[in-house]
Amino acid sequence: MKFILFIFVCSLSNAFALDAVITVLETPLLKSKSYDAPVVQYLRKGDVIKIHPSVNNNTDYDHLAPSPAKYAKLKKDMDESPEWNQDPLFKGEATTASIDDEFIPTLDRQGNTVYVIRDHLYVYFTKPKELDQVILKKDPTDYRLEEPLPKKYPLYSLSGYRGQVTLGVTQPYYESYPYPSNVKNKGYTSPIDLNMSYLRKTPDDQYDRYFFGGTLNLRTFSNSYTLFNGNSTKEQGLKLGIGPYITYDAYKGIYNRVNLYGSINLYLFNQLNIAQKNEDLEEQRNYRAITISPRIGVQYHRKQILEDVDFVLGTSIEMEPATTFRSTSAANQQSWWVSRGNDKFKTRTTFTLGGYLGFQSAY
Tens digit of pLDDT for each residue in 151-175?
A: 777 777 777 899 999 999 999 999 9
Mean pLDDT of 55-78: 66
Q: Which CATH number fits domain 2-132: 3.40.50.10190, 1.10.645.10, 3.30.565.10, 2.30.30.40?
A: 2.30.30.40
* Bond before 82 cis per omega within 30 degrees: no
CA distance 149 to 146: 6
Q: What is the pLDDT of residues 44-58, one digit of tens each?
A: 999 999 887 777 766
Say whether pLDDT at 362 is over 90. no
Asked if the domains at 2-132 and 161-362 fall in one CATH topology, the answer is no
Q: What is the pLDDT of residues 340-349, one digit of tens each?
A: 888 999 999 9
The predicted pLDDT at position 23 comes to 93
The predicted pLDDT at position 195 comes to 97
Q: What is the pLDDT of residues 23-32, one digit of tens each?
A: 999 999 999 9
Whose CA is closest to 322, among 249, 275, 270? 270
CATH number of 161-362: 2.40.160.20
The predicted pLDDT at position 11 comes to 45
The residues pairing with 288 across neighbouring beta strands, listed in sequence order, are 271, 326
User: Where residue 207 falls among pLDDT bands split at 50, 70, 90?
Assistant: confident
User: Where residue 1 falls among pLDDT bands split at 50, 70, 90?
Assistant: very low
The predicted pLDDT at position 158 comes to 73
CA distance 328 to 344: 10
How would you classify the pairing of strands 256-278 and 232-252?
antiparallel
The predicted pLDDT at position 6 comes to 41
More confident residue, 19 or 91: 19
User: Where residue 130 falls among pLDDT bands split at 50, 70, 90?
Assistant: confident
Q: What is the pLDDT of residues 241-300, one digit of tens each?
A: 999 999 999 999 999 999 999 999 999 999 999 999 998 899 999 999 999 999 999 999
pTM over 0.95: no
The residues pairing with 192 across neighbouring beta strands, listed in sequence order, are 169, 220
Contact 238, 271 (CB under 8 A): yes
The predicted pLDDT at position 272 comes to 95
Residue ranges per structural domain of the chain: 2-132, 161-362
Q: What is the pLDDT of residues 300-342, one digit of tens each?
A: 999 999 988 999 999 999 999 999 999 998 998 889 999 988 8
pLDDT over 90 percentage in the chain:
60
* Bond before 88 cis per omega within 30 degrees: no
Residue 338: DSSP 8-state: S
Say whether pLDDT at 136 is over 60. yes
More confident residue, 326 or 85: 326
The predicted pLDDT at position 7 comes to 42
Residue 151: DSSP 8-state: T
DSSP letter string, 15-72: -SPEEEEE-SSEEEEESSSSTTSPEEEEEETT-EEEE-GGGG--GGGGGGSPPHHHHH
The predicted pLDDT at position 66 comes to 63
CA distance 262 to 260: 7
The predicted pLDDT at position 151 comes to 73
> Looking at 91-206, which runs of residues are DSSP E strands?
103-107, 113-117, 121-124, 161-170, 183-187, 192-201
Whose CA is closest to 216, among 197, 200, 201, 202? 197
